[in-house]
Structure 1
């Protein structure tokens, strides 16, 4: 991590805290942008979601219908952006975004019964690979899997890596209320590690067992519920010993870490305190590192939907630019807002390059973009 004086970092963030403000430091030459949390879908997939598969909670059905303007594969502008590659390319060009790392929109194949979900995943991945072949310098992709069918998921991870040359895997949090720390999913985690496939852990509405208090005031969706769900899922993986068992597993969490970085001190402190008092009685396990330290060994975060220079400065200070990747969260967030944010951030040239494209290029093994020489 580039060393910064804390007051300098925070002062620089405050100086550029309003999106669209004059650049505090020009990034020259123009730093390429690889956006790493960019949703896509097919009309067939959206129609299947409209039918209300059993793995969707009622809150998800209501929330997604509201965002999309109602049912029907062509019902809204959001659907058009999810499904239309030409429209996506036009928006990328208009905003200077060089590449999208595509991943299927929530809830993905996890909405369907196991065998059907596995079939949906294969179909989506075949289609995604075709998009990338047609536009190899503009798109890379994350394979979808159906964790509710672990055996099929392992096979699909291997196929995605070896046959389709995809760049990682997307899992949209819980599958029928089950989380990745549970023993039944260990073969999936082992396959991810063996194939060196980074996992993008994307949030969704809280599971049916958790949803109750979130059902009022719109809290079940991106307003709060997604972050609560995503952060809990990753903490379950940390405290469940997943990263001790699979030390080479790489996980990416969006939205500047779903709030977890702001609780590093609290979580580490409570973990130490409880373990000293017999925390095993609460189900705590001895870990090889403090909880926050897995963010330096196994976990990356992205800027998706969190376009704040103050937040970026904080995450830079405690994680370093090596652990942060640029993302938009297209089409749920505005490309122009995300690009203005990152272009006006107070960053050294090397940190700008790391966040904007180099970290993504390395982590996801992206080889095709024409990028500036080192």
Structure 2
């Protein structure tokens, strides 16, 4: 059966140069430069397709690598978001049977976000990827409400990806070790995922899905911890005056991806919280690189061929409007 991977990262040199020049630059950029990651990130052609073939992936949905353009000043963020969207659209046009793409948005310039989302959608981008905070502005701030309205109306799913926690949060919770351990704790070891889960929970508590009930959000890494704490998070609904429980929003407005974490225990827990219709395959390339054997072994843990098909391709195809041949 076909295999669609929805969180497959790429990068462009102009963006890396701009991000390196930002004062107090995002230290997680170092992960882009480890091993051969940067070479793989910048390859939107034969090398990437060869890697997909080796893994057994039929279609990759490309997404600009963290932190996107969000740390940049508004004018620069807009220019580089437009350049990234043009470049990704061109890559898809060259290989339409193998690639789709998520747009990059100038979130540090809220007034420009909806316009760029609409432009990118008109070019064929099938969704967008954003982060939980731009400077001091949270994703749930009403400054972004027009963006969420446009995403809902255009049928553009919003992938909320992890990012480095703010300096204040890092100082409070993630310092006190050697620099590399500090960074690891604040990123892949813990902080990234708690930060993304908090961003998603804040969107729910802000009433985003009450105002935009058709909006669909995607979370990686098996729901960024949120799926494991819904018994407690549900108690927030009454306090916040929401129309539904947090769990209900998760089941009706969120899709969950694997991000290369092919652990059957995580699958079983996810299925106890949401349904097979809400689970999607992804590898988080090139940061995770499961082999074809890894993928096939994991797929054997599904209860039926229909469940495997939904996870492997049908859910992503429906969400992102991809024709499966």
TM-score band w.r.t. shorter chain: over 0.9
Task: Give the distance between the partners of 1:103 and 1:203, measured in 2 at CA.
Answer: 13
The one of 30, 48, 57 aligned to 1:65: 30
Give the match for residue 39 of structure 1: 9
Give the match for residue 296 of structure 1: 251
1:66: how far off?
Answer: 5.2
State whether residues 201 and 251 of structure 1, in contact with CA within 8 Å, keep that contact through their aligned partners in structure 2.
Answer: yes
1:152: how far off?
Answer: 1.3
2:142 maps to 1:177: no
Task: Give the distance between the partners of 2:131 and 2:166, measured in 1 at CA.
Answer: 12
Task: Give the distance between the partners of 2:194 and 2:297, measured in 1 at CA.
Answer: 24
Task: Give the distance between the partners of 2:65 and 2:31, measured in 1 at CA.
Answer: 15
The one of 164, 189, 192 aligned to 1:223: 189
1:96: how far off?
Answer: 0.9
Task: Give the distance between the partners of 2:158 and 2:10, measured in 1 at CA.
Answer: 17
User: 1:67-98 deviations in whole A, cap 9, x for unaligned?
Assistant: 514xxxxxx51001101122211111112110
Give the match for residue 208 of structure 2: 242
State whether residues 107 and 172 of structure 1, in contact with CA within 8 Å, keep that contact through their aligned partners in structure 2.
Answer: yes
Task: Give the distance between the partners of 2:213 and 2:271, measured in 1 at CA.
Answer: 23
Coordinate RMSD, CA, aligned? 1.7
Aligned in 2, Cα 1:265/1:220: closer, same or farther, shift over 3 Å?
Answer: same
Is the partner of 2:315 in helix, strand or coil?
helix
- Stretch of structure 1 that moved more, 342-351 or 108-117: 342-351
1:143-292 equivalence runs, <5 A: 143-162=103-122, 164-212=123-171, 213-215=173-175, 216=177, 217=181, 218-268=184-234, 270-271=235-236, 275=238, 279=239, 285-292=240-247
1:168: how far off?
Answer: 0.3
Flag structure 1 segments of 5+ consecutive residues without an equivalent.
Answer: 1-30, 70-75, 280-284
- When Rg is computed on C-alpha atoms for both structures, the one with the higher figure is 1
Q: TM-score, normalised by structure 2?
A: 0.92
Task: Give the distance between the partners of 1:113 and 1:308, measured in 2 at CA.
Answer: 39
Corresponding pairs, count: 316
State whether residues 308 and 341 of structure 1, in contact with CA within 8 Å, keep that contact through their aligned partners in structure 2.
Answer: no
1:348-367 equivalence runs, <5 A: 348-367=304-323
State whether residues 177 and 209 of structure 1, in contact with CA within 8 Å, keep that contact through their aligned partners in structure 2.
Answer: no
Task: Give the distance between the partners of 1:264 and 1:193, measured in 2 at CA.
Answer: 25
Is the partner of 1:248 in helix, strand or coil?
coil
Q: TM-score, normalised by structure 1?
A: 0.81
Task: Give the distance between the partners of 2:303 and 2:7, measured in 1 at CA.
Answer: 21
